[in-house]
Amino acid sequence: MINKIAFGGGCHWCTEAVFQALNGVNKVEQGFVASTDHNTAFSEAVIVHFNPETITLDSLIQIHLHTHKSTSNHSMRNKYRSAIYYFSEAQHTKAQTIVSQLQSEFDAPIITKTLPFKDFKPSEVQFKNYYKNNPNKPFCKTYIHPKLKLLQAKFSKHLTDNHHPNPIK
């Protein structure tokens, strides 16, 4: 199985920070992903490279669904498409199964789409590692800190030893 998966949901700064905090994630590429058919427009997303012996695809998808508005079809969904972008048919099938199994953890229907990965455009250098470089900026305190606190509360077993200390205190 391919050991990378792409996720879109909210701001890619937030998504990048969430996945960088996880043990077993080797690299997070921040940028914009395009898919096929009606989803060819680029949308903010990340590509997550991971070690499946340390963190499973199931756990990554569960964390993704809980750390963005995966049940909200709000007006910014073109810029922030809620998606799991797969790189193989096996990933596609597995991702759809996982989302179906996780539906019971949510009060509303999950709107996250499982889409084929087609293309990627990386973010400009000044926006990469945004949280790591700017943890005290107002955006980080308002939007990223709550996601990291949720990670600590719900998924602490997956956090790296050197997890971002600022919001967790």
The 10s digit of each residue's pLDDT in 77-110 is: 778 899 999 999 999 999 999 999 999 999 999 9
Could you tell me which of 20, 25, 12, 24 has the C-alpha nearest to residue 120? 12
- Residues that are catalytic: 11
Quote the tokens at residue 41.
């427009």
Residue 46 has pLDDT above 60, yes or no: yes
What are the Cα distances from residue 8, in Å, to 39, 158, 164?
A: 12, 20, 22
**DSSP states along 28-51:** EEEEEEE-SGGG-S-EEEEEEEE-
Q: 52 and 3 in contact (C-beta within 8 Å)?
A: yes
Q: What angle (nearest 5°) sits at the alpha carbon of residue 32, between those of residues 30 and 34?
A: 140
% of the chain surpassing 90 pLDDT: 86
pLDDT tens-digit series, residues 108-128: 999 999 999 999 999 999 999
Dihedral sign (CA 157, 96, 129, 140) = negative
Residue 18 has pLDDT above 80, yes or no: yes
**Sorting pLDDT into bands at 50, 70 and 90, what band is 164?**
very low
DSSP class of residue 62 equals H
% of the chain surpassing 70 pLDDT: 94
**Sorting pLDDT into bands at 50, 70 and 90, what band is 76?**
confident
Determine the pLDDT at residue 155.
Answer: 95
Strands 4-8 and 43-50, bridge-based pairing? antiparallel
Quote the tokens at residue 1.
């199985």
Model pTM? 0.92
Could you tell me which of 123, 82, 90 has the C-alpha nearest to residue 106? 82
